[in-house]
Structure formats: structure tokens, C-alpha cells
Amino acid sequence: MSEHAVDVGAADFARNVLEESHRRPVVVDFWAPWCGPCRSLKPILEKLAAEYAGRFLLARVNTDENQELAAQFGVRGIPAVKAVIDGEIADEFTGALPESAVRGWLDGLIPGPAELLRRQAAEQLAAGDAPGALATLAEAWRRAPRNERLRLDTAEVLAQMGESAEAQGLLDGIRGEAASSPQAAQLKARLAVASAAQGGASEAELCSRVAANANDLDARLQLAQLAAAAGRYAEALELLLDIIRRDRRFQDDVARKTMLNLFTLMGSDPLVGEYRRKLASALS
């Protein structure tokens, strides 16, 4: 135990957890000596408590010795970790998580200097200041060079600035949970769309080709790619559906694969559900 981690029980829980939580967040670890995952999580929590240097207090509760306290806090499985802020449970998780996941969970509750800079960069990007966001992320990265989310955010900014090759290089180097996150998947899809739309004929030329030959599927595909790159997703999806209806096997099923890529890029856009149904109908 360090000065930032304490064992607590029913007798001192109110003082060390509830009262203390009005001064700083208290992370309560409900554990038991016989619990293997608890033994895995314990050194991670203690390491982070020391690293965060008092920005939160780690309070460890032995559930074998404090069964009523565990029941009072709804503990059904251990390890159970609950963040208490201002006397209330602000967030929680159950089970042993890797250090990166615990760190991310803590940063959502207790933002450190790098996380604060990351949030500042997001605000700058939303306001249209991509160069400023890039500079802010560089400073955050200097403070937390192993934070893969900063690498991912930097790739996102580069992509919005049109620096696709640099963005792709960063994206390819991302490891851990950040690499499999929805943000990474959407960025990968966005870069793929941008890459597919480069170097082809103009939109006017492609429209002329389709007008002259309705079965010019290559022209339709290029039009779909241009529309997708411009954010005209409904138009792009309609063009891709038309290709599927005319020739499902065109270029190794490229139209269907492109639609799936767009679904990833579009995320929760209502058009996704609509066109998933249309795709299923076209394939049946």
C-alpha cells in the first residue's frame, strides 16, 4: 500500500470513502483473498494510484470481511471497482481489466494533463482549427508518449487536413485497444474512401459515360466513390446498389464491400439501417 491507497471496512468507510469523495474521487476496489482476478487487478490499481499521485484515493474493501458493505453497494461479482465522487457512485466496472483499459477508465473520471490537452484539441478541431488541434496533440503526446488514443486523434486531424498518407501511417502503427476502437474503424473507412476517389476521371466525364452506356459499371463505381468522398452518402449508396443489381460479381463484389465500408464510416447515421435493408433485399 502507498499513501494513495488504503484498506477500508465498515467502521471507516464513511470517513475514508464517502467524506473523502467530496475532496477527490475515491476508487473502491471490492476484492477477496481467494479471487485470482482480484490479485491480477490489485497491482495495476496500486501502480496507477501512485502514478496519479493523489488525484484519486484507492480504497480496498475485503468482501469476505465486509459482506454487508459489499451487499449495500450491489457487489455481485469481484473484483468490483466503483468510483465514488461527491458521495455517489459515478462509474464502475467488474472483472480484471488490462492496465490500458483501467487507465482509460480513470482518465474519463480524472483527466490528467495529457487528457485535458486531448479534449482541448477536440474542441479546436470542432471549431475548424485543425493546425491548432495538431499542435495541441503534439504537446499532449510529448507528455504521454505511450497514449495510443493521442496517436489515433492525431491521425484523425491529419485526415481532415487532407494528409491521408501521414494519417494512414499513424493509423497503421496504432496498437492495443485503440486499434480496434470504433474511431479507428471509421478513420480506416474514411481513408479508404478518400484513396478510392483519387486519380480518376472527373464527375462530369463519368456522368457522360453512364449516360452513353447505362452498363458502364466502372463509371458508376467511380461516381459512387466521388460522392462518398464528398459526403453524399445516399447518392453513393444508391449508385453502389445499382451496380449490385446489375452485376453482383463486378470487380470481385466491390460494390457490396464498398457499401459495408461506408456503413462503418457513417456510424449511427439513420441511412445505415435503411441501406442495410436495401442491400439485403438486393442480395436475396
Cα–Cα distance for residue pair 54/22, rounded to 1 Å? 14
Tell me what the mean pLDDT of segment 66-91 comes to: 92
Q: What is the mean pLDDT of the chain?
A: 92
What's the pLDDT score for residue 199? Answer: 79
Residue 207 among the catalytic residues: no
pLDDT tens digits, one per residue of 59-73: 999 999 999 999 998
Choosing from 35, 140, 239, 241, the catalytic residue is 35
Q: Which has the closest alpha carbon to 21: 67, 83, 110, 91?
A: 83
DSSP the chain: --TTEEE--TTTHIIIIIIGGGTS-EEEEEE-TT-HHHHHHHHHHHHHHHHTTTSSEEEEEETTT-HHHHHHTT--SSSEEEEEETTEEEEEEES---HHHHHHHHHHHS--HHHHHHHHHHHHHHTT-HHHHHHHHHHHHHH-TT-HHHHHHHHHHHHHTT-HHHHHHHHHT--GGGGGSHHHHHHHHHHHHHHHTTTS--HHHHHHHHHH-TT-HHHHHHHHHHHHHTT-HHHHHHHHHHHHHH-TTTTTTHHHHHHHHHHHHHTT-HHHHHHHHHHHHHH-
> H or E element: which one contains 26?
strand 26-31
Query: 129 or 198: whose pLDDT is higher?
Result: 129
Cα–Cα distance for residue pair 19/8, rounded to 1 Å? 13
Domain coordinates of the chain in residue numbers?
5-109, 113-178, 203-283
CB 271 within 8 A of CB 237: yes
pLDDT tens digits, one per residue of 190-203: 999 988 888 788 99
pTM (2 decimals)?
Answer: 0.62
What's the pLDDT score for residue 17? Answer: 92
What's the pLDDT score for residue 166? Answer: 94
Burial of 22 (0-12, 13-18, 19+ CB in 10 A): exposed
Q: What is the phi-psi region of residue 253: left when phi exceeds 0, alpha when psi lies from -120 to 50, beta otherwise?
A: left
What's the pLDDT score for residue 81? Answer: 95
Superfamily (CATH H level) for 113-178: Tetratricopeptide repeat domain (1.25.40.10)
What's the pLDDT score for residue 223? Answer: 95
What count of residues does the chain have? 284
pLDDT tens digits, one per residue of 212-223: 999 999 999 999
Range scoring the smallest mean pLDDT among 4-13, 147-156, 193-202: 193-202
Helix (H, G, I), strand (E, B) or coil at 75: coil
The residues that bridge with 7 in the sheet, in sequence order, are 60
What's the pLDDT score for residue 1? Answer: 52
Other C-beta atoms closer than 10 Å to the C-beta of 187 total 25
Query: What CATH number labels 203-283?
Result: 1.25.40.10
Tell me what the mean pLDDT of segment 137-162 comes to: 92
Choosing from 38, 81, 170, 240, the catalytic residue is 38
CB 61 within 8 A of CB 94: no
Q: Is the pLDDT of residue 90 over 70?
A: yes
Query: What CATH number labels 5-109?
Result: 3.40.30.10
pLDDT tens digits, one per residue of 232-277: 999 999 999 999 999 999 999 999 999 999 999 999 999 999 999 9
What's the pLDDT score for residue 37? Answer: 94
Q: How many CA atoms lie within 13 A of 123 on its CB side?
A: 7
Per-residue pLDDT band at 57 (split at 50, 70, 90)? very high
What's the pLDDT score for residue 111? Answer: 77
Per CATH, 113-178 and 203-283 having the same topology is answered yes
Q: In angstroms, how far is CA 163 from the centroid of its own chain? A: 21
Q: Is the pLDDT of residue 98 over 70?
A: yes
Cα–Cα distance for residue pair 178/163, rounded to 1 Å? 20
Residue 35 among the catalytic residues: yes
What's the pLDDT score for residue 80? Answer: 94
Task: Assess whether the previous peptide bond of 79 is cis (omega < 30° from 0).
Answer: yes
Q: Is the pLDDT of residue 115 over 90?
A: no
pLDDT tens digits, one per residue of 22-39: 889 999 999 999 999 999
What's the pLDDT score for residue 2? Answer: 66
